[in-house]
Structure 1
Amino acid sequence: MATRSVALVSFLLAAVLVALGLTAAWSIATVNRSTETTAEATAALEAIAHLQRAVAGEAFAEAGYRRAPSAEARKRVETAITEVDRAVREASEVGNADDRIMLSYLQSVNDRYVAEVRRSLDDTDTGAPRNDRVAGPALDAIQELIDAAVRDHQRQVAVTRQQQRELLFQLAMVVISVLASSVATLVLCWSLLISHNRRLAAQAAEHERRSLHDALTGLANRDLLFRTIEKAFRAPNAAFSLLYIDLDHFKNINDTHGHPAGDRFLVEVARRVHASVRTTDLVARIGGDEFAVLSSTAADARQLACRIVAAVQSPIALDGTEVIPSLSVGIAVAPDDGRDCSALLHAADRALYLAKHAGRGRITGLRR
């Protein structure tokens, strides 16, 4: 179970990292494509707008020359023509396929216009009659083409920017959704880890409890008793008592009624002993039919023993037969009977031996 939980958490965390990585990569690629598209549309619009200004400058330079012919005015016309050629080339480099088709046609129309302008200017230089405007329809056609291209690219830029805003909004929603899912997954993983740790802690606590308690009666076992005695001795001015309790003639109960009945008998005796002591006292089962009570005080050890014997001596029904338990109790008091765990245990065992040797069913201490 623990392995499956760890594997599930690892899988979910890996899935979150992969989702975040893929989302980041997709987001970067999408934004880059959108930015490139917007930049291309803007560059094409700027190039066409520049061409529009160049053509207008070409017409303006020609008109200026016709109003006041001079070498300087003629030079301005040639410069304007060169600027139009350069603007056409630049627009072709950044424009799309439709732009290049339009620009190719515009270039041919402009070439005819320029040829007619130069011929007219040559006539003007030689004193031939002047026209106010040369190749008017061709120039109008050029300007109409450029105006239409500018309007088209303005629409494209507006549409591209609107699409980019919508894309960024959708992208934000996707990122928020992925982040929300990631947070939810991380919370789930955290919950699973906490649950797993709590389960391990509970298992460890249960294992600790079982290792320190008797499986049949649920009382403390020898290990817990010894640990508690050692802890009690570490307290300043330690003074407490230890009672060793033995069930008299318990073997006869097992032989007569069987071991299952004997176990029930032990459980009931353990319950009665535990119910007759204080909450600060520790009751332990240290052997088959032997119990121990570690009392937090030394003054009333004999009264405690009497109370335990009285509580246990009520009849216990076993397979339709009532059996009256009999107890022998040995009392050892710290620090008088022992100044460490081993010495106190030996003293309590010695007192119990004296109680049983005196005829069983007795309470005996080493000190009268």
Structure 2
Amino acid sequence: MPKSSVGAKRGSEIAEALKAHGFEVIVSPNPSNAMARANLRDFAAKAEGADLAFAMLIGHGVSWGGQTFFLTTNTEIGRAADLLSRALSTTNIAQIVGRAQTGGVFFFMTSPSFESPIEGLDARPQFTSDVPKNAVTVFSSSARIPVSRIDAAAEQAAEAVAKLLQQPGPSLNDLIKVAASGGMGAVFGRVDDVSLTKPAPAPSAIERPVASITPQPVSSVQKSEEPDGKLEAERRAREQAEARARDEQLRAERAQAEVLKAQADAKKAQADVEKAQADAERAKQEARRVEAQAQIAAAQAEDLRHASVASPVDDAQLGQKQRRLIQQRLRDLGLYTGPLDAIMGPLTREAIMGYQKSRNAAVTGYLTAEQFDALLPKGAQ
């Protein structure tokens, strides 16, 4: 997916502010689908029975079928139903935060751009499922915000949340209000207002020196502390190993994504070349068609020129002898059956048309000068 306008840096700011208030935080920048689901499993285990549990989602999202989905960096969607396996449902995440005494899902949702529109997807949030009674789901946008302003609303809400959490003693209601873009976003569910700052542990009613209750040698104390220190070191080593494994997996997934992108770019380039070749071939065919039309038009113009030059002979300018000779010549050719009366009547016209047909000339019944000379050579005239 293309990058969201709300960067991972803003998520780090929110994470550090939550840590300062006593929260244990899991940060997953630019996660793939597998990495995000693995982190959610870790989060679910920690949320079980906790006082407060929050899931902060920053990035692209779409809605379909009454649910809103968070899109990971390697999300590929060909149809709306692909969201069920290739994206994260905020409805399911709300069920996870509901394992704590009080929980919340906060989605600073930006709008992705797809190369091809996908039927059924909506850029605005939807949440038609039952909300856990102890959890609230908050979106930075809603139907009251134009689609063109969704990204800006998410940026402003994320910035406002970071600033709020950096203040001493923020409350849950304040967090919900600023995350919902000051009331312009969407809020599903209600929870009691609580402070987001972990209270300091209460002092014991009677504070006595340890030695007055269970005195023990210094060597014994050192021996009891040694296993605890070893366990702590092992825990840290395990966490570091897990963090390195996640980093390696993330780098591998990024490399795979780059390879897939390069392959997609190569396919697109090949498609562009094939399209250009097809366009060139169509252009050649069109040029040949235009050239053929021009040749036909030129031939027609030449025929018209010849037709205009070949004007018919005026019968009135012919003598009786010439007209009778024409009848005689047409009779010799088997075309005229009438008397040799020198009258250019219907029978003579019909014979002339037969003569013109035999020469593949225009059939008019009137001899052209060329046809007259061919029928009656100069000596015969």
TM-score after normalising by structure 1: 0.34
Larger Rg: 1
TM-score after normalising by structure 2: 0.33
Q: Name the structure where helix makes up a greater proportion of residues.
A: 1
